[in-house]
């Protein structure tokens, strides 16, 4: 077989497994074969892995691979979906995969037929013949993630159950056969937890959402993503506290509990659901509201297994008001930003609050990696912005924030800055803005309402202006997207979190999350400084991520991010050393400091009461 094209292979290897190609988050439609066949192998994410796997000679051309290649119509939906958040153009990989398989067949190659075996026959009798497989072309797409420290772990079978009974039957079968199993959510796992040498259960087919308005709840199947649930809630004028858009709701709750900027008002962990249904390790079904159910509400500061496979969650729905909108309060000083976030918590102002670092803001706003890089320099150097306090609230909340904080970037200015971003970075304009500076930072003058006409005259914000920052052949598509008001609507963007994957556009992101006491700036600053020191010592890119107040500003969740090229062995070694240093340091700090809990120990205990890990 001909050698893989280096450039195409590079793109394929850069797939972050964020599964944004598995949700229709741009309203442009879903990859048709993925929607039809559900296995990740049929989505662009899986096809990227397949191309890389073929280049590494990990798999032969199987019947499954031929089907996967042939079902791709090169419709191009994935190109915009992926570019919007990662900057990658997967279409060329899709085409190259098809070409390679086609060339193989044209050259007289015969697709390898993988023989069935007894366990597979049993699995198929449970879920139906279409939904269990041992074809390596499918297996390999469930065998790894960008987590750099995990090696490829090829499962023997991948199975897609359709009901809780099928899940229970698969678990019982696995026990009988002595096969290990793991449950896969929608995307991947940044810490490599979802692999098995036995059976991988992909819950893609269990996608039921039933809204119970009278009980302010939604019954959600384990294959439902945050984006889909939020979309359904939104349709009813409601909201849920959800995680990354492509993450499954059930998986996210079980894993760490859902935390987001909305956790400020809606809480986290057990705050997020009313009841949950599980299949336990023996294949028995139970609900948390059963009196005999295991006590998953307790918390143990240790790595312990999940209570079982979640087959349904009854998730809380929250009311919304028509006058909700977003506001950003810029800061130069971190402590001042934290003080405002804490104050908002104490006074119960707003619904979603976070202190964000500039890497976040720059990437959220920028449609391209290069523009984000420029903006990341300009924000502090020219505008005097190193942090922002981001908040969503009704008009009363926003008025209060403005009174407390002074100059703010309201939704109108946010839209202007976003749609005029390429001109905001024009050097002549920036030179002038710099000149505004004396005792107070230049952003203050930009935030003044009286300045708005001038800012608009300079930036000439429009979808076309913004789209000029991307490759020429994508400009029309970007113009179409940004012509939709929701793409610059801070509330919508924050509810659906479609921009958050842009964080990893430049490099794969390694997020460290720690619950912290929000009244202890010394502790928070120490944690940030230590993360920075450890990363710098290894020569890794790093940045403060966010800090979201919780429980009336008493506690917060802090994210600090490391950025690595997960395909670079040297960076892999570095991250290994970093992890070895961070674990003991944070353990010691948590032992000495009330309110500090490393999220690592909340993994698999996401159903616990937040009070049990916030106030140990």
Partner 1 sequence: MILITGGTGFLGAHLAAHLLEEGDEVILLARSKQGLSAADRVGRLLDWLGVAANRKKNVHLVEGRLEHPGLGLEPDDSALISREIDEIVHCASSTSFAERRRAEVEAVNLDGLRHVLDLAERSRCRRFHFISTAYVAGINSGHCLEELVRPAAFTNVYEETKCRAEWLASERCAKAGLRLSIYRPSIVYGHSETGRSLLFNALYYPVRTALFLKNLYETDIRERGGWRAAEMGVRLDGDGWTVMPIRIMAEDGGGVNVVPVDFFVRAFGAIRERAVDGGIFQVVNSRRTRIEDIIEYTQALFHIRGIMVCPAQDMEGKPRNALEEVFETYLEAYRPYLRDRRIFGAEKAGPILDDKGIRCPDLTFDIFKRCLDYAVQCGWGTRLFRG
Chain residues in the site for partner 1 (CB under 8 A) = 332-333, 384, 427-429, 431-432, 435-441, 445, 448, 450-458
Cα separation, 275 vs 121, in Å, equals 34
Q: Cβ closer to partner 1: 212 or 381?
A: 381
Please name which of 469, 450, 463 lies closest in space to residue 362, comparing C-alpha atoms: 469
Number of Cα atoms under 13 Å in the Cβ half of residue 303: 4
Residue 545's SS3 state is: strand
Q: Cβ closer to partner 1: 434 or 554?
A: 434
Q: Cβ closer to partner 1: 423 or 486?
A: 423
Q: Cβ closer to partner 1: 441 or 595?
A: 441
For residue 453, the minimal CB distance to partner 1 (Å) is: 5
Angle formed by the axes of helices 411-419 and 452-459, to 10°? 20
Residue 45's SS3 state is: helix
Please name which of 325, 499, 321 lies closest in space to residue 412, comparing C-alpha atoms: 325
Cβ atoms 241, 234 nearer than 8 A: no
Q: Cβ closer to partner 1: 238 or 455?
A: 455
For residue 386, the minimal CB distance to partner 1 (Å) is: 9
Cα separation, 414 vs 399, in Å, equals 17
Number of Cα atoms under 13 Å in the Cβ half of residue 100: 27
Q: Cβ closer to partner 1: 75 or 430?
A: 430
Cα separation, 5 vs 590, in Å, equals 48
For residue 327, the minimal CB distance to partner 1 (Å) is: 21
For residue 438, the minimal CB distance to partner 1 (Å) is: 3
Q: Cβ closer to partner 1: 118 or 450?
A: 450
Cβ atoms 585, 537 nearer than 8 A: no
**433 dihedral zone (left: phi>0; alpha: psi -120 to 50; beta):** alpha
Class of residue 434 by CB neighbours under 10 A (exposed 0-12, middle 13-18, buried 19+): middle
For residue 464, the minimal CB distance to partner 1 (Å) is: 13
Give the count of beta carbons closer than 10 Å to the beta carbon of residue 425: 18
Q: Cβ closer to partner 1: 438 or 580?
A: 438
Cα separation, 177 vs 25, in Å, equals 40
**22 dihedral zone (left: phi>0; alpha: psi -120 to 50; beta):** alpha
The residue written with tokens 């075996």 in the block is: 117
Q: Cβ closer to partner 1: 333 or 568?
A: 333
Eight-class DSSP state of 152:
P
Angle formed by the axes of helices 6-13 and 91-106, to 10°? 120
Number of Cα atoms under 13 Å in the Cβ half of residue 137: 22
Token pair in block for residue 477:
């598509």
Q: Cβ closer to partner 1: 178 or 435?
A: 435
Q: Specify the length of the chain in residues.
A: 616
Cα separation, 598 vs 339, in Å, equals 22
Token pair in block for residue 436:
């505004």
Please name which of 545, 540, 580 lies closest in space to residue 563, comparing C-alpha atoms: 540
The residue written with tokens 């015969």 in the block is: 110
Beta strands 508-517 and 555-564 are: antiparallel
For residue 326, the minimal CB distance to partner 1 (Å) is: 23
Q: H helices then E strands: how many in the chain?
A: 27, 19
Give the count of beta carbons closer than 10 Å to the beta carbon of residue 57: 8
Widest distance between CA atoms in the chain? 77
Please name which of 69, 133, 92 lies closest in space to residue 10, comparing C-alpha atoms: 92
For residue 377, the minimal CB distance to partner 1 (Å) is: 12
For residue 456, the minimal CB distance to partner 1 (Å) is: 7
For residue 432, the minimal CB distance to partner 1 (Å) is: 6
For residue 537, the minimal CB distance to partner 1 (Å) is: 20
For residue 443, the minimal CB distance to partner 1 (Å) is: 11
Q: Cβ closer to partner 1: 450 or 472?
A: 450
For residue 440, the minimal CB distance to partner 1 (Å) is: 8
Q: Cβ closer to partner 1: 50 or 455?
A: 455
Q: Cβ closer to partner 1: 207 or 434?
A: 434
For residue 462, the minimal CB distance to partner 1 (Å) is: 11
Cα separation, 611 vs 264, in Å, equals 14
Q: How distant is the alpha carbon of residue 597 from its chain centre?
A: 21
Q: How distant is the alpha carbon of residue 60 from its chain centre?
A: 32
Q: Cβ closer to partner 1: 292 or 427?
A: 427
For residue 207, the minimal CB distance to partner 1 (Å) is: 49
For residue 38, the minimal CB distance to partner 1 (Å) is: 50
For residue 404, the minimal CB distance to partner 1 (Å) is: 20
Cα separation, 202 vs 38, in Å, equals 9
Q: Cβ closer to partner 1: 285 or 419?
A: 419
Q: Cβ closer to partner 1: 303 or 432?
A: 432
Q: How distant is the alpha carbon of residue 135 from its chain centre?
A: 29
């Amino acid at each position: 077989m001909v050698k893989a094209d280096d450039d195409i292979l590079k793109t394929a290897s850069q797939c972050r497994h964020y599964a944004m190609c598995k949700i229709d988050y741009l309203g442009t439609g879903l990859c048709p074969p993925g929607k039809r066949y559900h296995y990740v192998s049929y989505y662009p994410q899986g096809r990227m892995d397949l191309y890389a796997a073929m280049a590494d000679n990990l798999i032969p051309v199987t019947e499954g691979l031929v089907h996967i290649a042939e079902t791709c119509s090169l419709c191009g939906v994935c190109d915009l979906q992926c570019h919007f958040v990662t900057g990658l153009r997967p279409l060329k990989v899709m085409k190259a995969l098809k070409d390679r398989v086609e060339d193989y067949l044209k050259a007289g190659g015969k697709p390898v037929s993988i023989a069935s075996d007894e366990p597979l026959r049993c699995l198929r009798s449970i879920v139906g013949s279409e939904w269990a497989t041992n074809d390596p072309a499918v297996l390999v797409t469930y065998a790894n993630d960008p987590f750099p420290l995990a090696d490829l772990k090829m499962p023997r079978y991948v199975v897609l159950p359709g009901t809780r009974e099928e899940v229970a039957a698969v678990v019982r079968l696995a026990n009988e056969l002595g096969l290990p199993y793991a449950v896969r959510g929608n995307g991947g796992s940044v810490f490599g937890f979802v692999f098995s040498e036995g059976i991988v259960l992909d819950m893609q087919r269990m996608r039921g959402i039933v809204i119970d308005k009278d009980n302010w709840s939604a019954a959600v199947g384990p294959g439902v993503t945050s984006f889909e649930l939020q979309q359904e809630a939104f349709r009813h004028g409601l909201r849920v506290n959800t995680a990354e858009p492509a993450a499954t709701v059930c998986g996210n709750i079980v894993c760490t509990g859902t935390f987001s900027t909305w956790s400020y008002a809606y809480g986290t962990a057990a705050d997020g659901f009313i009841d949950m249904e599980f299949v336990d390790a023996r294949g028995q079904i139970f609900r948390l509201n059963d009196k005999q159910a295991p006590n998953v509400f307790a918390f143990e500061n240790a790595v312990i297994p999940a209570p079982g496979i979640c087959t349904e969650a009854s998730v809380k729905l929250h009311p919304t008001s028509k006058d909700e909108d977003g506001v950003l309060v810029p800061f130069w000083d971190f402590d001042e930003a934290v003080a405002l976030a804490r104050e908002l918590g104490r006074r119960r102002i707003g619904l979603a609050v976070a202190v964000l670092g500039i890497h976040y803001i720059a990437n959220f706003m920028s449609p391209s990696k290069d523009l984000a890089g420029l903006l990341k320099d300009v924000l502090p150097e020219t505008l005097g912005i190193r942090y922002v306090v981001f908040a969503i609230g009704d008009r009363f909340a926003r008025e209060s924030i403005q009174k407390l904080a002074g100059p703010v970037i309201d939704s109108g200015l946010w839209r202007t800055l976003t749609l005029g971003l390429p001109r905001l970075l024009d050097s002549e304009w920036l030179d002038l803005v710099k000149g505004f500076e004396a005792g107070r930072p230049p952003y203050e003058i930009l935030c003044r309402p009286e300045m708005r006409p001038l800012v608009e005259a300079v930036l000439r914000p429009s979808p076309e202006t913004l789209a000029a920052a991307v490759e020429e052949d994508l400009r029309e598509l970007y113009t179409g997207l940004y012509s939709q008001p929701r793409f610059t609507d801070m509330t919508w963007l924050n509810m659906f979190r479609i921009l958050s994957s842009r964080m990893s556009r430049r490099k794969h992101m390694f997020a460290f999350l720690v619950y912290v006491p929000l009244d202890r700036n010394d502790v928070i600053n120490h944690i940030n400084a230590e993360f920075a020191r450890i990363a710098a010592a290894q020569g890794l890119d790093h940045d403060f991520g966010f800090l979201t107040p919780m429980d009336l500003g008493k506690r917060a969740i802090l994210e600090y991010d490391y950025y690595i090229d997960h395909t670079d062995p040297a960076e892999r070694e570095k991250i290994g050393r970093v992890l070895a240093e961070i674990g003991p340091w944070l353990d010691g700090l948590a032992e000495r400091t009330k309110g500090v809990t490393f999220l690592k120990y909340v993994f698999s205990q996401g159903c616990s009461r937040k009070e049990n890990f916030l106030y140990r």
